[in-house]
Amino acid sequence: MAIDTTTDLQQTVEDAAAHLYVWSLKDIPQDLRDALRNAMETETHKVGKRILETINTNVSVADERQNLVCQDTGLAVYYVRLGELFPLHPARIEQALREGTRRATLEHPLRSNTVHTLTRVPTGDNTGHKIPHIHWEFVPDWDGLDVKCIPKGSGSENMSFLKMLVPADGVSAIKRFVLDSIVGAGGKPCPPGIVGVGIGGSADLAMHLAKEAIARPVDDVNPDPDVAALERELFELLNETGIGPMGLGGDTTVLSVHVEQAHTHITLNPVAVNYQCWAARRASAHIFSDGTVDYDREA
């Protein structure tokens, strides 16, 4: 008699999602911790340095008390890499991620932020229509499943920008738009954080790329040398603005700038900016086809 393991595997994914949501909210990655400590040690502005000291103390207290790093539990966003040979249908994976998010919210408990967009009536469990948001990547000839949870708070998400630039204006227009966006945002997105920039494709793809960019580790560099050069230049320009921690002045306005690009139409030049606050939370699980799970805070 054949044994149906689908239910057990779906439960494994659900349990992983519930764990990732809470874990990401409590335990920020080491690369982010290192960046925040380095910023504190090198900051020359008196107020900026004091704020960075407070941020680092916040992280330490959260560790000691096993508490959340920030009270804004955000919208649950998942990045899924699914192997074509993984024995669980994407529809079941989506159900598992939704149920895991709901369970984490109710069982921990976590603050529920999700509301109906028009009526503002809360759902009570951080799920709703099309929420949590799931980004899919399908991998041929592989039987694994990677799930990355990135809770996205509203302070930083409110500072998202999109503009359809004129192709003839070139890279300088891209840099000017990013600079104007971050200067205009000021202290609202809780700097210093990670700036994600999406370039190319269509309007919606550019915004997706910008969100994808903030999911990368702080010290990650784009493999495309032209894109990597733009990342470095934007990082230097943004830290020269003097906005500083929480917008109150200083050397450290951003911890990193990540750029993702896609090819686009000859008459298009879409550019999107998505900001991730200093609590750039993320956590990942690698799920094998036999139900084994490896958790990875750093991925």
Residue partners of 252: CB distance under 8 A and separation at least 6: 39, 42, 43, 48, 52, 191, 192, 239, 244, 245
In this prediction, residue 3 has a pLDDT band, given cuts at 50, 70 and 90, of very low
pTM, full prediction: 0.94
CATH class belonging to 6-25+70-151+281-296: alpha beta
Q: Percent of the chain having pLDDT more than 70?
A: 98
Single out the residue of 257, 254, 250 nearest to residue 232, CA to CA: 257
State the pLDDT at residue 123.
Answer: 97
Q: What is the pLDDT of residue 2?
A: 34
pLDDT at 4: 43
Across the chain, mean pLDDT equals 96
pLDDT over threshold 80, residue 233:
yes
Query: From the CA atom positions of the chain, what is the Rg in Å?
Result: 20
CA atoms within 13 A of residue 13's CA, in its CB half-sphere: 31
| Number of residues written out for the chain | 299
For range 209-216, the mean pLDDT? 96
pLDDT at 1 over 70: no
DSSP string, 126-155: S-BTTBSEEEEEEETT---EEEEE--B-HH
- Whether residue 18 contacts residue 100, with contact meaning beta carbons closer than 8 Å, is answered with yes
| pLDDT tens-place string over residues 128-153 | 999 999 999 999 999 999 999 999 99
Considering only 4-8, 46-50, 109-113, 215-219, which range has the smallest mean pLDDT? 4-8
Q: Which of 5-9, 121-125, 180-184, 210-214 has the lowest mean pLDDT?
A: 5-9
Every domain of the chain and the residues it spans: 6-25+70-151+281-296, 154-276
Provide the terminal-to-terminal Cα distance of the chain, rounded to the nearest Å: 40
How confident is residue 5, by pLDDT bands cut at 50, 70 and 90? low
Task: Answer with the residue of higher pLDDT: 3 or 287.
Answer: 287
Question: How much is the average pLDDT of 197-203?
Answer: 98
